[in-house]
Chains A and B, each alone.
Chain A
Amino acid sequence: MSVERMVVVGASLAGLRAVEAARRAGYDGELVLVGDEVHAPYDRPPLSKAFLDPDGERGAGAVAQFRSEEVLRDELRVDLRLGTRATGLDTTAREVLLGDERLPYDALVIATGSVPRWLPGTDPAGPDGPLEGVTQLRTVEDARRVREALEAGARIVVVGAGFIGSEVASAARKRGLPVTVVEALDVPLTRSVGPEVGVACVELHRAAGTDLRLGVGVAGLDEETPDGPDGRRRVRAVRLTDGTTLPADLVVLGIGVRPATDWLEGSGVALHDGDRGVLVDATLATNVPGVWAAGDMAHVENPLFDGEQHRLEHWTNAADHGAAAARHALDPAAAEPVVTVPYFWSDWYGHRLQFVGTPRADEARVVVDDLATGGGLVVLYRRADRVVGAFVVDLPRVVMKLRRRVLDRGPWKEAVAFATGSEVPTPR
């Protein structure tokens, strides 16, 4: 069946790349992009970086929109449904449910991404309503809240020493504000990059003067006694499991995300037993014909790493897979496995952190360790005699060359020799 109506649900990076790729592939039929945010697709990584910078620096406080609504509508001929939530999926009738409306499709790309987790009692949709002064950082509205608090010189407590939480801490330190980061693990980031790198990351926090509390959880949040007639709840302090109380004007939660797939429950699209992400094969096909998925919510088989399943929360993954899913949806017979090397970056305290490949390895070895002396760091990941990943700080020149070695399933020894031979420090 040839496709006459393609629907993409989720109007962020993966969804945008899907509609762009569809038109680029010469698809001339109807193209609908549904997204529950009111904004045209915008870029998230700057929200925890340039957006939080003090004024006068590049990008500060400005939203990085990829393409304007006009360009999407007029040039790409996209039927743009912003502020519209998909509430369900009828895979038999081939219809996306938008509340009472039914939107038929021949080909569907799911790209609803992920949503951050709340601490108990803080979800604005919960029984007690919003708790002011507690936020996540996912949307432009969230970022404005954080930026305003930084400008007001707020006392900030970040919960979770992951990448986004650490970037918020960097932004606070850049303005000379004190900041505390609370992390339940003894070594942060063990799941995403392994303990060796986690230890190095702890040093970056310490050197920047961030108060990092490891191995301690949040016992509860203290609230201000409501004084106004509106009786709104507002946070006053964070209570930790070790008995400490940290006064706070703003609490930023960086405790991870979950796939935004509530609307797919019961639809027949296979979801992961644990986190409910969408399961797709290496071509990004779901178990349901005509339905494809890409981006933060998809568990994808990667042929490069022995067919292992990965659910990645990376920019390049969402961009590449969004485009590939659309091409495959339009021409399933030509769909091929997508082979990509996972890649992400993060900016902490003036340092550039980059990771390529997978951290699931037999060994992670620190091969360049010059951070303390103003140089860089390289950690390589080995599986049998192959290099499968690399974590690099402040050595931007080597990263893509290591990525190439991972892609070529290159030998471990050569990767080590290359990395150790190129340890020219590169201050940024």
Chain B
Amino acid sequence: MRIVADLGKCEGLGMCEAMAPDFFEVDEDGVVDVLDAEPGEEHRTDLTAAVDACPVLALTLQG
């Protein structure tokens, strides 16, 4: 599974970080850093929640 963040869309609102702080962090510039782009399958529930929480639909999970 791969996390893809569209940094052109991301507005740094941080909902992904709220849902899955181990995988996302809003950085100084106010856009998301993906901390681990290829997480294990066991994290799918948390990551789906994070992807769905993004108000601007900047995140997708592939695979």
Interface residue ranges, A against B (CB under 8 Å)? 43, 45, 58, 315-316, 319-320, 341, 343, 345, 352, 354, 396-397, 399-400, 403-404, 424, 426, 428
Contacts and interface: CB of A to CB of B under 8 A. Distances in A.
Given A352-B30, A396-B30, A397-B28, A343 B55 contact: no
What are the nearest 3 A-B pairs in CB distance? A396-B30, A400-B17, A400-B14
Interface in B1-44: 8, 12-15, 17-18, 21, 25-30
A130 B62 CA distance: 50
A403 B26 CA distance: 13
B17 A426 contact: no
Given A45-B55, A316-B53, A316-B55, A403 B18 contact: yes
Contact of A426 (B8, B14, B25, B29): B29
Contact of B26 (A43, A58, A400, A404): A400
Nearest to B26: A396
A352 B28 contact: no
Given A396-B12, A400-B14, A315 B26 contact: no
B21 A315 contact: no
Contact of A352 (B12, B15, B17, B25): B12
B27 A400 contact: no
Contacts of A404: 18, 21
Given A345-B13, A403-B18, A397 B26 contact: yes
Given A400-B17, A403-B18, A319 B26 contact: no
B58 to A, nearest CB: 12
Contacts, number: 47
A52 to B, nearest CB: 16
Contacts of B53: 316, 319-320
A320 B25 CA distance: 20
Contacts of B14: 354, 396, 399-400, 403
A106 B14 CA distance: 37
A42 B25 CA distance: 27
A288 B14 CA distance: 36
A345 B54 CA distance: 13
Interface residues of B, number: 16
A319 B18 CA distance: 14
Contacts of B26: 396-397, 399-400
A428 B18 CA distance: 21
B28 A315 contact: no
A376 B24 CA distance: 22
15 contacts: A58-B8, A319-B53, A320-B53, A341-B18, A343-B18, A396-B12, A396-B26, A396-B27, A399-B14, A400-B17, A400-B18, A400-B21, A403-B14, A403-B18, A404-B18
A424 B26 CA distance: 14
A382 B48 CA distance: 33
Contacts of B15: 316, 343
B13 A428 contact: no
Nearest to A315: B55
A426 B28 CA distance: 6
A341 B53 CA distance: 13
A341 B17 CA distance: 13
A428 B12 CA distance: 11
A58 B43 CA distance: 33
Contacts of A343: 15, 18
Given A343-B18, A404-B21, A428 B55 contact: no
Nearest to A347: B11
Given A400-B18, A404-B21, 5 more contacts: A341-B18, A352-B12, A396-B27, A400-B17, A428-B29
A345 B12 CA distance: 10
Contacts of B18: 341, 343, 400, 403-404
Contacts of A316: 15, 53, 55
B35 to A, nearest CB: 13
Nearest to A13: B55
Contacts of B8: 58
B43 to A, nearest CB: 18
Contacts of B21: 400, 404
B33 to A, nearest CB: 10
Contacts of A399: 14, 26
Contacts of B29: 426, 428
